[in-house]
Amino acid sequence: MLRARIAVFVSGGGTNLQALLDAEKDGKIPHGEIVLVVSGNAGAYALERASNAGVETAVVQKKDFPSQSAYENALIDVLTQKGIDLIILAGFMTILSADFTSRYPERIINVHPALIPSFCGEGYYGLRVHEAALKYGVKVTGATVHFVNEIPDGGRIILQKAVEVFEDDTPQTLQKRVMCQAEWILLPEAAELVSEKIVRSR
């Protein structure tokens, strides 16, 4: 069986990438293999995590290109060269245009640190999501893995998991709990679900 070839897009610390690498090593993504990590930031610690796992890396930074389309063409070149079937956005902070997302229908997934449709869309990323949840005073938040389309955080939901909010939470403590209890579990599960679908559709 040819496994689905996965590229993981990152921008920062890469704990979700680590969860994916660990899950693959533990045999929890039998239908997929992570063959490439693409970073939107040359200084991302995620690049070290990829190297430590022996996965090829590429740095493609939007600021190095004159336009969104030139940037996305560079991404497409890298993905085509590596024969990528599935793109996983794991803490990837650059918005991709409709031109890009429409090339990969139901072949791009993203993890978002809230229960969509709450605290999502443009401007809601990273710690900002948890700041907004605490400001609103919700008692339950969580994480969502969804397909990526032209609407930020608007594609079909694949998996969601709820996480309790505590009275004394800070954005940082809440972020950590959402990662541990939801993101790092859901993202590898979704990677396997979609990889299996890709393999079966061949």
Return residues touching ligand GAR (CB under 6 A).
Answer: 10, 12-16, 90-91, 111-113, 125-126, 129, 179, 183
Q: How far is the CB of 120 from ligand GAR (least distance, A)?
A: 7
Give the Cα separation of 112 and 120 in Å (integer). 8
Q: How far is the CB of 139 from ligand GAR (least distance, A)?
A: 20
Q: Kindly list the catalytic residues.
A: 112
Give residue 134's identity as a one-letter amino acid code.
L
* CB-based closest residue to ligand GAR: 91
Longest dimension (CA), the chain: 50
Q: What is the 3-state secondary structure (H, E, C) of 10-67?
A: ECCCCHHHHHHHHHHHCCCCCCEEEEEEEECCCCCCHHHHHHHCCCEEEECCHHHCCC
Based on CB atoms, which residue is closest to ligand GAR, 84 or 132? 132
Q: How far is the CB of 88 from ligand GAR (least distance, A)?
A: 11
Give residue 182's identity as a one-letter amino acid code.
A
